[in-house]
Structures are given as structure tokens and as C-alpha cells.
Amino acid sequence: MKILKLVFKNALRHKLRSFLTILGIGIAVMAFGLLRTVVTAWYAGIEASAANRLITRQAVSFIFPLPYAYRDQIAKIPGVEIVTYMNWFQGVYIDKNQFFARMACDPETFFNVYPEFIVPPDQMETFKKERNSCVVGRDIAKQYNLKIGDVMPIEGDIYPGRWEFVVRAIYQPRDKTVDGTQMLFHWEYLNERMKQEMPIRAGDVGWYIVKISDPSKSAQISEQIDALFKNSRAETKTETERAFQQSFIAATSAIVTAMNVMSFVIIGIIMLVLGNTMIMAARERTREYAVFKTLGFSGGHLVGLIAGESFLISFFGGGLGLLMTFPLINMFEAFMPKGWFPIFNLEPITMILAGVSALSVGIVASLFPIQRALGTKIVDGLRHIG
């Protein structure tokens, strides 16, 4: 108990220095938590991918369309349960800073392939009946205060002109890993207008989503789909939904890697901050440690004093950092457009990593002061002036 009292007294002996060290550790832990949350949000789409869904896209590039006629041919392949399709529409809603996914889909099949988008049955029926109706995610409805019956005017960019969609349904994500920031409308509505205004772009879809009965046969079915359209004017590339999502992440892999590296560099910063404090404390207490040795304190007692002080400071710093992380992430999420990171949550593993890292650094930072205290002879310690 006496050792514990000494640990607490030593940790608070220089209150300003201890406070600044704890604050520095707290800020570093908070930054670590934010960066790791951004990285996990970046990969959220991959983690939410379903094993029983395949994506068929144009072999050359995702930006090139596929013929609508491919749908029935894909559906005939053994093992395929449902085939649906989508078109990236985008456009400008309010202004160019308001980003979220705006896509054309097949209302009859889309929600069967994506059961994680939950729509009330009455709203679904209304949505299916009205050609210019749309479904919006819960988060988008909340952000823009959209209600059933509201009109969403969108200025087209990929598909020029002014488009007006009526909100007829609001979907609820099945769980926190599901994107709640999408806007979906009838592909037929888009196609009919293209027939009139841009016939060359009519009759095409962006990509197909194929729901299969047995995920273990995904490679075999993918090969069969691609073989159907080999040497055609629009060859296909079929892959699992997870691989499809990873291809998007690959385009920004350098950014994600840099953020990953930075998050762990912060651990090094914590070590430097705390290590500097402990080295200064050890130099100041060289004579004290010599007196302790003279009085019969063992090496274990000195290790406990120094390591305990370092651990205590890192504990308070880590705790402060974790407490500050929650409001920071909430504030970051509130000011960030929903479509940038549809799923932005502080994961338990991030909290564990941040906490364990801070405590581990507390132990590591005490190693040099411990070695110095144990290696200094009593006579040399008593002669020390500092």
C-alpha cells in the first residue's frame, strides 16, 4: 500500500507536467480513434458484402453499360435465383456538395436481392405503382427532412435535364452495417426518357446483381456468365460482391494505407511524450532512488515505483482520450455529408486497440528510467545534482 501511495504522489508531484502529458496522450489516443474509424468506415462496404451475391459488369470498365437483354440469359444459368440490375444516375441535389448514391433499379427484384433494405409493405406497393417515385434511406430522409410525398428535384449530369422524383418509401437498414444513405428509383422511368431524348443510351443497364443459391459455386457460376458473352460487343466480368467492393477500395489504397500508417505512428508519438516525462522524472529522482536503496528498498520496489507511475499516467491519458473520442466522432459524423461514409461507427476493436496501446506504451516508456535507476550505484546517486 505504501508503494501505491508513493506512485500516486510521484505521478502528481509536478502537476502541470503530468497534466500536459496526460492531455498529450489523450489527444493522441483521440486522433488514433478517429483515423481508425475512418479506415474501418472505408472498408465498411466490403464487410457488409453478401456471399450469395455476384456482380456482373462490363469487362473493360465499370463505367461502360451492359445490354438489358443479358438479364434473361443470366437468369437461365443453373444456380442463379434472382437477377436484378442498377444504373448509376448521380445528378445534383440542392448543390454539388450534397453527395449520396442516386441509382436507378428494378423495383420488382431489387429488394429481393437486397433484403437488408427494409421497406414497409404499403410504401413498397405505392413505390412500385408510380413510375417517377423513389425510395430513400433513413439517414438521407433524416438529413434532408424528407417525408413521404415530398418531391426531390435533381439536375442531371450523366443523364442531362431536370428530374423530379416523389418520395414514396423510406427504407430502414437491417443493422448498423447496412448503408442508409441511398436513393433508388425506377430504371424504366430513366429508360423511357432516354428513348425520347438520347436513344443511343436507351436499353442499357449499369451492372447486374446476381443472387445465387450456393455461395460455394460463385466461381463456377461467374465463369458461366462470362462465357455467355465472350466475344460479344460487351463482354462481362463477374465477381463476388466482396471482390467488386474491393476493386473500388484498390483505387484509393494509397490513401487508406497512409491513414493506417499514421494511426500507428501516433502510438510512437504517445511513447515519445510519455517517455520524455519519465526520463525527466527519473533524472530528478536519482538521489531519491539512491536513498531508497540505502534504506533497503529492493530493485522490485523501484521497478514498481517507476513502472507504476508511467502506467498510471498512461491510464489516465488513455481514458481521457477514449472519452474525447466519442464526441469527436459524433461531431465529425454530424458535419460530414452522409454519402461520404454511409457507415461511420466507433468499432469496439478500435477502442480496445487504443486503450491497450496507451497502456502498453506506459510500460515501454518506463524501461529506460528503470534501467537507469537500477544501474546507478548508491554513491553515484547520492552525488547526483539535478
Q: Are strands 161-173 and 117-118 parallel, antiparallel or unpaired?
A: antiparallel
**pTM of the predicted structure, to 2 decimals:** 0.68
**8 Å CB contact between 26 and 324:** yes
* pLDDT for res 135: 95
Q: Which three cell numbers stand for residue 356?
A: 491497450
Helix (H) or strand (E) holding 302: helix 299-335
Report the mean per-residue pLDDT for the chain.
Answer: 82
State how far the Cα of 125 lies from the Cα of 130, in Å rounded to an integer. Answer: 9
Q: Which residues contact 376 (CB under 8 A, 6 or more apart)?
A: 286, 289, 290, 384
Identity at 186, one-letter amino acid code: H
Higher per-residue pLDDT: 189 or 269: 189
138 vs 264, higher pLDDT? 138
Q: Which residue has the cell 406497393?
A: 125
pLDDT of residue 51: 82
| Most confident range, picked from 235-239, 261-265, 288-292, 360-364 | 235-239
249 by Cβ neighbours in 10 Å (0-12 / 13-18 / 19+) ranks as: middle
Q: Which helix (H) or strand (E) segment is 173 a member of?
A: strand 161-173
Q: What angle do CA 224, 228, 232 make, to 5 degrees?
A: 145
pLDDT in the model for residue 252: 60
Region for residue 336 given its phi and psi (left: phi exceeds 0; alpha: psi -120 to 50; beta: otherwise) = beta
Dihedral sign, Cα of residue 273, residue 275, residue 278, residue 279: negative
- Strand residue runs (E) in 192-265: 204-205, 207-212, 236-240
- Residue 41 · residue 343 · CB < 8 Å: yes
The per-residue pLDDT for range 98-156, each reduced to its tens digit, is 888 899 999 999 999 999 899 999 999 999 999 899 999 998 898 889 999 999 999 98
Return the biggest CA–CA distance within the chain: 97
Q: Are 305 and 299 a contacting pair, CB within 8 Å?
A: no
Determine the pLDDT at residue 101: 86
